[in-house]
C-alpha cells in the first residue's frame, strides 16, 4: 500500500492580516502618488500629462480639505439642488433686467 504525501502549499496565516493592517494604515494616513509625463521632439513639448492620485479614507480626505464630492452637482443631490436654485435666481434676475431694458427701448421708440 502506497501512501501519497503530497501536500498543497499553504499561504501563511498572517498574510491576510498583514494586508488588512497595510490597508488600514494607508486609509488612515493617506498615500499620494504624483507623476508627470512629457512628450517632446527637439526640445518642443508636444504633450504634458500631470498625474495626481491620493488614496485615503473619506474622513482623512475631509480632514485635509478634499471634499469636492460634496459640492459636485453630478455626485451629490444636495449640491445639484443648490445649483438649480442658483440658476433659477440668476434667471429671475436676468428676466428683470431684460424687462427693464425692453421698457426703456419702448419708451425711447415713442419719443
What is residue 5's predicted lDDT score, i.e. its pLDDT? 56
Q: How far is CA 17 from CA 13, 22, 29, 42, in A?
A: 8, 9, 18, 51
Question: What are 7-61's pLDDT values in tens digits?
Answer: 555 555 566 678 888 888 888 888 888 889 899 998 889 999 999 888 888 888 8
> For residue range 57-93, what is the model confidence (pLDDT) as tens digits?
888 888 888 888 788 888 888 888 888 999 999 999 9
The structural domains of the chain, with segments of one domain joined by +, span 22-66, 67-111
What local confidence, expressed as pLDDT, does residue 13 receive? Answer: 58
Which pTM does this prediction carry? 0.41
Residue whose cell numbers read 504633450: 47
Amino acid at each position: 500500500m502506497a501512501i501519497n504525501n503530497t501536500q498543497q502549499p499553504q499561504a501563511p496565516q498572517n498574510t491576510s492580516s498583514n494586508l488588512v493592517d497595510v490597508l488600514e494604515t494607508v486609509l488612515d494616513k493617506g498615500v499620494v502618488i504624483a507623476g508627470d509625463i512629457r512628450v517632446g521632439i527637439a526640445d518642443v513639448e508636444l504633450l504634458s500629462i500631470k498625474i495626481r492620485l491620493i488614496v485615503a479614507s473619506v474622513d482623512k480626505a475631509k480632514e485635509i480639505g478634499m471634499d469636492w464630492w460634496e459640492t459636485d452637482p453630478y455626485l451629490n443631490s444636495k449640491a445639484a439642488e443648490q445649483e438649480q436654485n442658483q440658476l433659477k435666481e440668476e434667471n429671475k434676475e436676468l428676466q428683470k433686467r431684460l424687462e427693464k431694458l425692453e421698457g426703456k427701448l419702448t419708451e425711447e421708440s415713442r419719443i
